[in-house]
Amino acid sequence: SNDTSNLTAYRPFINQVCSLKIVCGTDKELFRKKINDAWTEYNNKNQFNISSSDYYFDYNIIDGNYLINDIELAYHTWKTNPYSSDVNFNDFCEYILPYKRAKGLPIENWREHFSSITPKGILSNDSLSIKAYCDSLLFLYKDFNLDYIIPKKIPILKVEDFESTKNGLCSQKAWLNNMLLASHGIACATDFVPAWGNRAERHSWNVVLHNDTSFAYDPFWEEERWKNKYLYNNLTYDGYWGEFRLPKVYRYTYSAHIEGPITDNRVELSNVPGVFKDVHKIDVSHEYFSSQDVEINITNKIPDDTYYCYLCVFGLWGWRPVQWGEIKNNKVVFKQMGKDIIYLPCFYKSDEYIPAANPILLKTDGSVLKLEPDLENTEQVVANKFRPQYPFVGDGIKKISGSKIEAADNLKFDLPEHIYTLPDTMLYGINIHYLDHPVNERFMRIVFPPNSGELLELQFYTKNKKGDLVKVSGNVCCSDSLSMQNVSKAFDSVNATGFVYDVNKGEQKWIGLDFGQKTEIDAIGFSPGVNPSFISGYEYELFYWNDGWVSVGAKLGEGEILTYENVPENALLMLTKTRLNPRKLIKKHRVFLYQNGEQVWF
């Protein structure tokens, strides 16, 4: 437990937080600015250091009467709540009974507190579904907000502090939710991804265990709450957030589950990554997505006294471990890995990750692509993004949603056949849509909505004998008033360049292909326009991975695209961004592959 007697020094600042929140209302940026200014002024006067707080082992300070009362309350709610009748004794001990929900939290009478604020009538209504019942409790804290600023300024440790600030991190709101639901006999846990497979940082969320099923939801209130199993299945994407790719999902537990390198007395504790020093967790990846074991042949020299290897994904500050495997005969197997993710096998020695072999892409179909740079064969890379763009950024998707794909046997498109209407949710990059049935015509086009039109790529595909998609070429055709040079950019197989036209008369335009003869089309591909990514005053350097990052060269941010020559094929790539005056590296880069003229981000 954290020694909260030392934390009384920041209580006056919490009062300021509450006042500022009322003054600023819904203006988050103003709220953050005032919080930062207030903290600077407050800390200059008090010189309070949050890292100076002491910690105690609970068995030295916990009171027996507290434990007895806490156990009796936990047992009573488990046995009297009709929504807990299916919870077995093991889950009760793991997710309802524990007096604490996270390390470092002080010992509090939180069960009594949450029971006292619950509106009367909730417990007596057993006609609700388990989700609706939990929502009736979670709704009490719907005005809590995700915020990365306040937790860095003051430690959110006690329930009363969280209830005062109403701002915190996902991991903090998760333990509050756990306490709230456990105080009513509901088995609730925290699941987490140690590092995303296609974006920076990590994430925590809650899961309710009921009738041998887990129901996952994000900690902070939102109307569509119970969608995490859909968001985190490594197959779908969200119309606002885009794709989520998870290499592993773990669940925090109260009991210890000791496994892996920490159990091996040959391994020094300093040579075990932090995530695998924590034994209070279990692997629950199978509850979210289809996984696959990955076998790696170690090609690099194994350091002395090294018995384990770690499979890593690329994070905000470099490679981050998500799974371990024991080295046997220069091979290592990593269990139950998420697909559609790039991994790098590494050794770990004294806080340093050392590559064990080349990175790999574990594809959606379970096959493995080894990313070994071909130094003999190089290619030109045309980039239009420094990092991936998500659907909630920019209006490129809006500009083509509602566009219609049509087919005809003549260039005038007399009596065209409607094939598909582009949806209002899609990803930035090439979206492939398989047709319900093949179309066999000579001409195909896209008709843009009035006052709109911006498209990086339009592609048509047929299937070969193996069932694989093969892109079909043809002669470009378009509305009479359009420039053929401009239109051809949508068919040049380079996703960084595209067709854009200035609409000022409410005209409706179209572009398409003449295949020369009737051709069977089984799928279409389309890529919306993106926001300009390269900014004047910044330098963008391209790297490829070859047992470390190797520079291809740097270019100034001028124009909407940057072109790099002599880039090894089949290489894992990364663009970095550096501000020139004053010089500072911007740590927001991601890794990508260059495939078929497109930056494919991971």
* DSSP-derived secondary structure for 77-109: HHHH-GGGTT--HHHIIIIIS-S-SSTTPPP--
Give the per-residue pLDDT at 54.
74
Q: 143-196, pLDDT tens digit by residue? A: 998 887 776 667 788 898 889 888 889 999 999 999 999 999 999 999 999 999
- 10 Å CB burial of residue 63 (0-12, 13-18, 19+) is exposed
Give CA separation, 116 vs 67, 69, 113, 119, 514, in Å.
Answer: 19, 15, 5, 8, 72
Position 6 pLDDT exceeds 70: no
Q: 407-430, pLDDT tens digit by residue? A: 999 999 999 999 999 999 999 999
Position 516 pLDDT exceeds 90: yes
β-bridge pairing 167-168 and 145-146: parallel
Give the per-residue pLDDT at 39.
79
Distance CA 193, CA 320 (A): 11
304: pLDDT confidence band, cut at 50, 70 and 90? very high
Give the per-residue pLDDT at 151.
65
Distance CA 11, CA 23 (A): 19
Give the per-residue pLDDT at 9.
73
First to last CA, the chain: 38
Give the per-residue pLDDT at 504.
59
41: pLDDT confidence band, cut at 50, 70 and 90? confident
254: pLDDT confidence band, cut at 50, 70 and 90? very high
Q: What percent of the chain has pLDDT over 70?
A: 96
Q: 215-242, pLDDT tens digit by residue? A: 999 999 988 889 999 999 999 999 999 9
Lowest mean pLDDT among 3-17, 217-231, 298-312, 333-347: 3-17
Position 513 pLDDT exceeds 70: yes
Give the per-residue pLDDT at 53.
63
- Cα-flanking dihedrals φ and ψ of residue 489, to 5°? -65, -20
What integer best gives the mean pLDDT of the chain? 91
Give the per-residue pLDDT at 43.
75
Distance CA 361, CA 542 (A): 20
Position 45 pLDDT exceeds 80: no
Give the per-residue pLDDT at 48.
62
- Contact assessment for residue 429 and residue 595, using Cβ atoms and an 8 Å cutoff: no
- Contact assessment for residue 500 and residue 532, using Cβ atoms and an 8 Å cutoff: no
In this structure, which amino acid lies at residue 428?
Answer: Y
Q: Summarize the confidence of residues 475-480 as an average pLDDT.
A: 93
Q: Which phi-psi region, left, alpha or beta, contains residue 553 (left: φ > 0; alpha: ψ -120 to 50)?
A: left
Position 323 pLDDT exceeds 90: yes
Q: 544-570, pLDDT tens digit by residue? A: 999 999 999 999 998 889 999 999 999
Partners of 374 in beta bridges = 569
450: pLDDT confidence band, cut at 50, 70 and 90? confident
What pTM does this model have?
0.92
Q: Using the structure block, give the residue that is written with the tokens 């998760």.
A: 174
Lowest mean pLDDT among 20-29, 66-75, 361-370, 530-539: 20-29
Give the per-residue pLDDT at 377.
97
118: pLDDT confidence band, cut at 50, 70 and 90? confident
Position 117 pLDDT exceeds 70: yes
Give the per-residue pLDDT at 22.
81
Give the per-residue pLDDT at 27.
83
Element at 150 (helix H, strand E): helix 150-153
Position 134 pLDDT exceeds 80: yes
Q: Summarize the confidence of residues 365-378 as an average pLDDT.
A: 97
